[in-house]
Structure 1
Amino acid sequence: MAERKRILFLCTGNSCRSQMAEAWTRTLKGDIYEPFSAGVDPKGLDPRAVKAMAEVGIDMRGQRSKSVEDLPVQDFAYVVTLCSHAQESCPYFPASVKRLHVPFDDPPLLAAEAATEEEAMAPYRRVRDEIKTFVENLDL
């Protein structure tokens, strides 16, 4: 079996989008990629992100919010930024690391104006499904 490629998903808080991307990649492409996630300013795991992923059978409760410095490895084949702030603030990686920017909407920001919990969950579910589609088509 070929060695899995290490991929880092980076966003601002490492609370939602990058966590979802890590979980989807582990679930759908774990035989090809060794996924990690981090944030440029970690904020803690978002309970609604955990709930949205649980709805599709993926348990993220064991994941935690972290910075790049907190990761057990630093040698990544790919770094994927998921928001403009992470793209602009991305730490230095060696030239051999391939970088990709794939922005997704920020569910907590979109949920802030929701009148009900069901309305608040809608952007989480939509972004969850968009990230799943991205990972399904991931061929780096």
Structure 2
Amino acid sequence: MKSILFSLFVALFFCATPASTKKHGIKVLILCTGNTCRSQMAHGLLKSYGKDLAVYSGGVKAEERVNPKAVMVMRELGIDISDHKPCLIDEYLDEEWDYVITVCDNADKTCPAFNGKVKHRLHIPFEDPSKVTEGTYEFRLNEYRRIRDAINDTFFKLYCDMEERK
């Protein structure tokens, strides 16, 4: 019972609290299809770079939970995304954003128009490591690491660019 209540609290806090009600510096929304892997890794990485970022993520068809392999490879970097909950982008459509970033082609194609103001809309696609179903467990896990590292490299450069633009 406690875990159900805790899960409900976390879901309400992370998904239902409008982004505009939270204190922030640069507001960033990262989108992908299910909000379970690439967007969650990008969310965790970007948030780890600086306290002045308000980072959110969502999916066009949010799944039930964050991909366990994504959680595992992020933990290897000391970043815990195990408490993240996939959210639908509908939660954020009326908000104002400094950056809205899609990390997969499907999200880029199906991303709805935002009613709020978006200063920068970027499409930075990454392969979906969950699509790798062949090979050993370690091989598949290495695909998650490879994508995580690509996201880390790209988003750190983006973060440095954001800092310069302030």
1:60 aligns with 2:81: yes
Instruction: Quote the Cα distance in structure 1 between the aligned partners of 2:46 and 2:32.
Output: 16
Structure 1 residue runs of 4 or more that deviate by more than 3 Å after TM superposition: none
Instruction: Quote the Cα distance in structure 2 between the aligned partners of 1:15 and 1:125.
Output: 15
Return the index of the structure with the highest Cα Rg. Answer: 2
1:76 aligns with 2:76: no
Paired residues of 1:22 and 1:35 also in contact (CA < 8 A): yes
Counting helix residues as a fraction of each chain, which structure ranks higher?
Answer: 2
- Pairs within 5 Å for 1:1-140: 4-31=25-52, 33-43=53-63, 44-70=65-91, 74-94=95-115, 96-97=117-118, 98-109=120-131, 111-113=132-134, 115-138=135-158, 139-140=161-162
Question: TM-score scaled to structure 2, two decimals?
Answer: 0.75
The unaligned stretches of length 5 or more in structure 1 are none
> What SS class does the counterpart of residue 137 from structure 1 fall into?
helix
The unaligned stretches of length 5 or more in structure 2 are 1-23
* CA drift at 1:29: 2.8
Report 1 or 2 for greater relative contact order, CA contacts < 8 Å, sequence distance ≥ 6.
Answer: 1
The C-alpha deviation readout for 1:47-79, integer Å capped at 9, x for no partner, is 0000010111111111011111245x8221211
> What SS class does the counterpart of residue 97 from structure 2 fall into?
coil
Question: TM-score scaled to structure 1, two decimals?
Answer: 0.89
Instruction: Quote the Cα distance in structure 1 between the aligned partners of 2:99 and 2:49.
Output: 17
* CA drift at 1:5: 1.2
Paired residues of 2:97 and 2:116 also in contact (CA < 8 A): no
1:84 is aligned with what amino acid?
A: D
2:123 is aligned with what amino acid?
A: H
Paired residues of 2:95 and 2:117 also in contact (CA < 8 A): no
Instruction: Quote the Cα distance in structure 1 between the aligned partners of 2:145 and 2:51.
Output: 22
Instruction: Quote the Cα distance in structure 1 between the aligned partners of 2:115 and 2:103.
Output: 19
Paired residues of 2:29 and 2:57 also in contact (CA < 8 A): yes
Paired residues of 1:80 and 1:99 also in contact (CA < 8 A): yes
Paired residues of 1:49 and 1:124 also in contact (CA < 8 A): yes
